[in-house]
Homo-oligomer: A and B are copies of this chain.
Amino acid sequence: MPIQGYHSLRNLVKLSKLEIPQDILDVIEPIKENDAAIRQYGIDQAVKMMQELFNSGEVFGLHVYTLNREVATMQILKRLGLWMSEPRRPLPWKMTANHMRKEDVRPIFWGSRPKSYVYRTQEWDDFPNGRWGDSSSPAFGELNDYHLFYLKSKASKEQQLKMWGEELSCPEDVFEIFTCYLSGEPNRYGTKVTQMPWNDTEVTGETALLLDKLMSINKRGVLTINSQPNVNGQPSTDPVFGWGPPGGYVYQKAYLEFFTSRENVAALLEVLQEYPQINYHVVNHTGKDDITNADRLKPNAVTWGVFPGSEIWQPTVVDPISFMYWKDEAFGLWTNHWGDLYNEDSKSRQIINYFHDTYYLVNLVDNDFPKENILFELIEKMLERRAVKETTEEEPSFDQVEAEHFQKKIKLDSDENSKDPFPNGVK
């Protein structure tokens, strides 16, 4: 361990009952108030010692203790030429520290909630390896309140209210929160929205590339919670998209996942007829509406890599069965993370319930990854089509929906209503 500071050195000496050599003390004592100087001296000393040891020809490895202070160690390794200039992501998602989990494939859905995925798969004996495979029933742990609570955001209720709105008066207020999360601009309460119930952290590098397009559709009620651009063979060392060992090539299919209204979904299902290269999956919170053109037992690899001397790595899939498990969690987050912030009979709470009860969760994969990402064009067409339908079909306002919906909630959930919500849609 390099000398990191005057006081830590004193403590270590006391604990180890060793004496500090006089020539070191001679240097350190006069600068004992200057932490930076002592740390620099510690680095210099360590580099010198390690070089001597390596040059002796007797020593083939050294163990450096960091005790959670990695800066000096990084400096030392850089000076010794042992530091990889760009520490690589081994896989596109963050791996867990638990080495018992020998996994290298995950569904994309938990991309922003890796802790939840780890929690819900903690009972698995075997993890998918090499590929997700044809699993007719991945046994995800039951979703329960404990789980939703346990994995709740670390922000306080006050912080959350400031981010997600102390009072919501219409659905557009919610659109605005989603948009602020993406833009990084403060919301109307002057607070930055640094997390969302579906995203533990701020917007990351990859999403940033789609930011303008995402903001534009969120404003209009396409509430995105996950996305990735297409990638056609970027080097595995690419700073944004790269992962895995050097010398490989990485690929992605464009992906978009969002909540949107029943009317938008009806328009979407019509527009999708013109886009055979797109896989879609649409569900409501009960799962009674469950519409997809994908094979229900076949995962779709949406991130993969080709590396020297390996089979193809395919670490991220869109899996129709996992999506149904994720759906419960994604809808649950509306009410358990967001709605719970408000009084039970407040309008704000009603609005969040309205999203939970009437919105659909949609995922879209553009399979034609070498061509331009067509998903946003598709969304624009959906919004156009919906606008046309509105002028002819007269859409009810939120207040009307509210009146009908909350007063007749039981009826809305009945079988009759859910039987065929999209007579023009693809089943």
Which residues of A are in contact with B by a Cβ distance under 8 Å? Answer: 130-133, 232-233, 247, 249, 251, 276-277, 279, 294-295, 298-301, 304, 306-312, 314, 317, 365, 367-370
Closest partner residue, chain B, to A366 (CB atom): B308
Contact call B298/A367, Cβ cutoff below 8 A = no
Closest chain-B Cβ to A346's Cβ sits at a distance in Å of 43
Mostly, the A contact residues are: loop
Contact call A370/B249, Cβ cutoff below 8 A = yes
Which residues of chain B are within 8 angstroms of A310 by Cβ–Cβ distance?
298, 300-301
Which residues of chain B are within 8 angstroms of A368 by Cβ–Cβ distance?
247
Closest chain-B Cβ to A230's Cβ sits at a distance in Å of 12
Which residues of chain B are within 8 angstroms of A314 by Cβ–Cβ distance?
311-312
Closest partner residue, chain B, to A313 (CB atom): B312
Which residues of chain B are within 8 angstroms of A317 by Cβ–Cβ distance?
311
What are 24 A-B interface contacts by the 8 Å CB criterion?
Answer: A130-B130, A131-B312, A133-B311, A232-B233, A233-B233, A233-B370, A247-B276, A247-B367, A247-B368, A249-B370, A277-B308, A279-B309, A294-B309, A295-B309, A298-B310, A300-B308, A300-B309, A300-B311, A301-B306, A301-B310, A306-B369, A308-B367, A311-B314, A312-B312
Closest chain-B Cβ to A255's Cβ sits at a distance in Å of 13
- A247 touches which one: B249, B251, B277 (CB < 8 A)? B277
A209 to B175, CA, bound (A): 57
Which residues of chain B are within 8 angstroms of A249 by Cβ–Cβ distance?
369-370
Which residues of chain B are within 8 angstroms of A295 by Cβ–Cβ distance?
309
Closest chain-B Cβ to A289's Cβ sits at a distance in Å of 20
A309/B131 contact (C-beta < 8 A), A233-B233, A247-B277, A277-B247 known = no
A312 to B307, CA, bound (A): 14
Contact call A304/B301, Cβ cutoff below 8 A = no
Closest chain-B Cβ to A410's Cβ sits at a distance in Å of 37
List 3 tightest A-B contacts by C-beta distance, closest first. A308-B367, A301-B311, A312-B312
- 11 further A-B contacts with Cβ under 8 Å, apart from A133-B311, A249-B369, A301-B310, are A131-B311, A277-B308, A279-B308, A294-B309, A299-B311, A300-B310, A301-B306, A304-B306, A306-B369, A307-B367, A311-B314
Which residues of chain B are within 8 angstroms of A307 by Cβ–Cβ distance?
367
A317 to B310, CA, bound (A): 9
Closest partner residue, chain B, to A305 (CB atom): B312
A312 to B131, CA, bound (A): 9
A45 to B314, CA, bound (A): 52
Closest partner residue, chain B, to A132 (CB atom): B311
A332 to B288, CA, bound (A): 63
